[in-house]
Amino acid sequence: MLFRRIVLYALLVGASAGLLLTVVQLWQVIPIIHSAERFEGEKVPAGVHGHVGHQHAEHEHSAGAWEPAAGAERTGFTVMSNVLMAVGFALVLLPVMLVSSKTGGESKVNWSKGLFWGAAGYAVFYLAPSLGLPPEVPGAVAAPLEARQLWWLFAVTCTAAGLAGVAFGKTPWRWAALGLLVLPHIVGAPRPLTAAFSGHPAAVTAELARLAEQFIGATAVANGVLWLTLGLASIWAVRRIGSVST
């Protein structure tokens, strides 16, 4: 059964990509998160600044909520989350790749296609949303969560549809799909009402701004590794799953 094969291969692809991602994260992303978290407690009382809307001090969450203990437990949950997320991406990616390979035949399923699919996933799920909502270190003030999640979905959907239109469209009109790539950025991502690190002492603000900049580079590399792995491993999976045209 096709569904069962897709799920099996998505688990394998997702596990390998998620584990590799974890290695990269532990090396350069997680240390920045931990550094930023050290400053979270050092806020000037928020009332002084009259913040409206979302506040990142809420990051410490409703008191008493469960959270993984620092160290091995926290890392363990990050590994699980990474693998789960990568399996989710593989489950979304594999059906789309299978449908597209159906029209192209065996010759089209080669490793360079894996790079292409990986690049597309990187553009859709990392680059496009990050242009409006750069990955944030803990402690940054941001617009309300629901608004950002909606814009994230909007950016991902538009970018995916735009790339698909250009790549698979059959008429000259397909270039109109390029408009979908810029649409989310014309609409604009939700913005916080205050500066990202307001509420902290000046020295901490400067340090957090430096960490935030490093964080964008670190996540760009980590996501690049994730999507390179997902793209190449998914080509392997598509070859193993075989034709869907019968």
Partner 1 sequence: MNNNATVVNNSRVSTASGAIAKPLQLVAAFFLGAVILYGAGFVETSAVHNAAHDMRHSQGFPCH
Instruction: Give the residue with the Cβ less far from partner 1, 65 or 202.
Output: 65
Q: Rounded to an integer, what distance in angstroms lies between the CA atom of residue 17 and that of residue 11? A: 10
Instruction: Give the residue with the Cβ less far from partner 1, 175 or 224.
Output: 224
Q: Is 33 in the site for partner 1 (CB under 8 A)?
A: yes
Within residues 64-123, the interface with partner 1 by CB under 8 A covers 65-68, 74, 77-78, 80-82, 84-85, 87-96, 98-99
Site string for partner 1, 208-227 (x = CB under 8 A): -----------x--xx--x-
Q: Rounded to an integer, what distance in angstroms lies between the CA atom of residue 195 and that of residue 191? A: 10
Q: Rounded to an integer, what distance in angstroms lies between the CA atom of residue 119 and that of residue 16? A: 18
Q: Which of 45, 61, 72, 107 binds partner 1 (CB under 8 A)?
A: 61
Q: Rounded to an integer, what distance in angstroms lies between the CA atom of residue 18 and that of residue 230? A: 9
Query: CB of residue 5 vs partner 1: minimum separation in angstroms?
Result: 9
Number of residues counted as binding partner 1 (CB under 8 A) = 62
130 three-state secondary structure: helix
Is the CB of residue 235 less than 8 Å from the CB of residue 114?
yes
Binding span for partner 1 by CB under 8 A among 29-37, 44-52, 176-184, 192-200: 29-37
Is the CB of residue 19 less than 8 Å from the CB of residue 79?
yes
Instruction: Give the residue with the Cβ less far from partner 1, 62 or 112.
Output: 62
Query: CB of residue 81 vs partner 1: minimum separation in angstroms?
Result: 4
Query: CB of residue 61 vs partner 1: minimum separation in angstroms?
Result: 5
Q: Which of 13, 17, 20, 29 binds partner 1 (CB under 8 A)?
A: 29
136 three-state secondary structure: coil
Q: Rounded to an integer, what distance in angstroms lies between the CA atom of residue 71 and that of residue 87? A: 24
DSSP per position, 231-245: HHHHHHHHHHH--S-
Is the CB of residue 139 less than 8 Å from the CB of residue 36?
yes
DSSP element (H, E) containing 33:
helix 30-38
Is the CB of residue 181 less than 8 Å from the CB of residue 87?
no
Query: CB of residue 178 vs partner 1: minimum separation in angstroms?
Result: 23
- The residues that touch partner 1, with contacts defined as CB under 8 A, are 1-3, 6-7, 10, 21, 25, 29-30, 33, 54, 56, 58-59, 61-62, 65-68, 74, 77-78, 80-82, 84-85, 87-96, 98-99, 125-126, 129-130, 133-138, 142, 145, 148-149, 152, 219, 222-223, 226, 244, 246
